[in-house]
Structure 1
Amino acid sequence: PHYVYPGSPNTFLTIGRWLSEGGKVFSKDHRHFLTEREISMTIARLMSTGYAKNFKEKLMLRKLKKAMIKGERKLLELLQKLDKKNEQTIIISPPFQLFSMMMIMEKEDIHLDLGESNSVVFTGGGWKIFEDKKVPLDEFAGRVEKTLGIPRSSYVDVYGMSEMNGLAVSCKAGYKHLHPWIHPMVLDDNEGNLGFGTFGRFAFLDPVAHSYPGYIMTGDRVKLLKRCPVCEKTGFVLEPDISRMAGAEAKGCANLMRGMMAEELRKIEGD
């Protein structure tokens, strides 16, 4: 199979390093990254905030935006090539980045049939500042099937963060199943425990963490359930509808592309 990640393997970011290491199990000609360029602290800041401190950084930001536009086309052309050869493909991407490419495909009436080669799609990282563009998980899975030809059964969304040692993987119904060693909580505005079945701020205790206190309070709005109401798997789950708390700062590995992606998304919608 081919491994496709629309990011850079050369980064200090935790998720980026994981995906880079994971790609090493594939031969060099079977792993594909959007760029091999190192994501330095300066580049990460520019991509995350869009703020340039001086003229040099303004030029750098302009080049980054142009590279991102080319990157979208590069990704689409790669998938078209793999589809034509009927190659099995593993696609790992933030949802908003894949959503942007699917919008281009819908606009230009491009349809692939990657499902014929048993290809799969994994998304993770959330929508960040694209919360106003966010679509329900079921609708997103429908777009994946319509544009990429990958059935819903081969689409998985994961929830996690650098501070959490373990990913909450969605079942076919979209519920995020937490690892058994994670002790989850849902907090109210006064940081009181709301328990199960109520939306609030997600927090958790992670006993696996040793280099820092493992109690983390996130900026995510979730609803916690004792078990999945659809599938037969046991353990705590989060409802599919996970969003950012009002006023929460946009953070995370997936958020690094936000400035460029937001601009290009607006252009596509404006055409």
Structure 2
Amino acid sequence: MSNFNNFFDSSPFDYNIDEKDINLIKSLRKNLQYQYNNCLPFKRLLEKRKFNFSNDFSLEDIPYIPVTIFKDYKLKSVKEELIVRKLTSSATSSQNPSQIFIDKHTRVNQMKSLVWILSSFLGKNKMPYLIMDIDPNLKKGDFELSARGAAIRGFLVGASKSSFCMNEQLEIDYEKFYSLIKDYEKSNEKFVLFGYTYIMYLYVAMKMKEKGEKLNLSNCIVMHIGGWKKLYDQKVSKEDFNKILVDVFGVRKDNILDVYGFTEQLGTVYISKGNGMKEVPKISKVLVRDPYTLEVLKDNQEGLLQFLNPIPYSYPGLSVLTDDLGVKCTINNKEYFEITGRAKNSEVRGCGDILSESM
């Protein structure tokens, strides 16, 4: 199996696209060979697609697995006894959650990747995190809360200490919240206000605005995760979201970090500052495909987002077609993208028949 120190030893965003693509193809070729030898369903997929990783190929040529396949099949490329963690993604009531099987090798590289990318935005010194959510220990057995808690814990690799600042009714614990803020202001210590996008907006910023609360958190970075799914119905734009946070918290717009990632490629996250687009690190490639023809689209054309990443080894997650819609662009020989919505019914199908023949 590969280590990725050739990526991790320099900045995630220190690249030009041509060099990046060459290095990715080298790493992905090794992963493809491993998956071919160790995951029978994926081997069958490559054979059905007549894909030969021994020949020259482009990143666009690599077969993808639709994200929904991970909800329907248990795909793994290592023996059961080597699995150290089984992850499940969020799911609607009509769906099964994705099941992702992690071994020690993959887990180590996922954590390295997350620290590597986060530190390029937050710096290398750990900071206190004020978590705008319920402490999962207060409501054990709540599946949604425990899932949020698991995601939150993953990001605490960059925390010097952490405090949950909401009660069991998902209301701000103002006494605790303001006390901690006062302490950090006195010590001039930089801190992170952290939580899920919809909670940060609906249950924190909007509730504080209704109460007429205004802060001046010049020493704060706001970081939110989990995506915009629960805000789509309310038609909240990123610009509107950021304006409310700037008005209520008194933070600089560029200190608001929107983090995108997904369970099927855990550890690699895509972050935007303020109203900007998400930067693509050099360990990943983002392609945009037409939702109907699945052909690769050019810059600034909306389609389904596909992510290629060589880190997943314990399962065939190196090329995933998501049900997120987005656009990508190239600026100064760097790659950026933005989420614009979700595919209708959040269903991206394909290749299940091929995989099932060898299950």
Fold match by TM threshold 0.5:
yes
Superposed CA offset, 1:213-260 (max 9, x none): 211111111001122xxxx5x421003x532222117xxxxxxxxxxx
**Is it true that 1:143 corresponds to 2:247 in the alignment?**
no
Superposed CA offset, 1:90-126 (max 9, x none): 11111110101111111111111222xx111011211
- SS of the equivalent of 1:110 reads coil
Picking from 173, 177, 182, the partner of 1:79 is 177
The residue aligned with 2:223 is 122
- SS of the equivalent of 1:6 reads strand
Query: Are 2:325 and 2:340, in contact at CA under 8 Å, matched by a contact in 1?
Result: yes
Q: How does 1:106-121 map to 2 (within 5 A)?
A: 106-115=209-218, 118-121=219-222
**Is it true that 1:187 corresponds to 2:318 in the alignment?**
no
- Distance in 2 between the 1:119 and 1:171 partners? 14
**Is it true that 1:16 corresponds to 2:152 in the alignment?**
yes
Q: How does 1:164-243 map to 2 (within 5 A)?
A: 164=265, 165-190=267-292, 191-213=294-316, 214-227=318-331, 234-239=333-338, 241-243=339-341
Moved over 4 A (4+): 7-14
Superposed CA offset, 1:167-192 (max 9, x none): 11114541100111212111222322
Provide structure 2 residue ranges, at least 5 long, that are not aligned to the other structure: 1-126, 138-145, 348-359
Query: Are 2:198 and 2:230, in contact at CA under 8 Å, matched by a contact in 1?
Result: no
Relative to structure 1, the CA distance from residue 155 to residue 12 in structure 2 (aligned partners, 3 Å threshold; closer, same or farther) is closer
Q: Larger Cα Rg: Structure 1 or Structure 2?
A: 2
Query: Are 1:95 and 1:123, in contact at CA under 8 Å, matched by a contact in 2?
Result: yes
Identity %: 24
- Distance in 2 between the 1:180 and 1:144 partners? 30
Relative to structure 1, the CA distance from residue 171 to residue 110 in structure 2 (aligned partners, 3 Å threshold; closer, same or farther) is closer
Alpha-carbon RMSD? 2.5
- Distance in 2 between the 1:73 and 1:17 partners? 20
Q: How does 1:52-71 map to 2 (within 5 A)?
A: 68-69=168-169, 71=170
Query: Are 2:192 and 2:222, in contact at CA under 8 Å, matched by a contact in 1?
Result: yes
Higher RCO, 1 or 2 (CA under 8 Å, sep at least 6)? 2
The amino acid that maps onto 1:81 is S
Query: Are 1:184 and 1:204, in contact at CA under 8 Å, matched by a contact in 2?
Result: yes
TM-score normalised to structure 1 length:
0.66
The residue aligned with 1:153 is 254
What count of residue pairs does the alignment treat as equivalent?
A: 203
TM-score normalised to structure 2 length:
0.51
- Distance in 2 between the 1:184 and 1:121 partners? 25
The residue aligned with 1:2 is 128
Query: Are 1:92 and 1:121, in contact at CA under 8 Å, matched by a contact in 2?
Result: yes
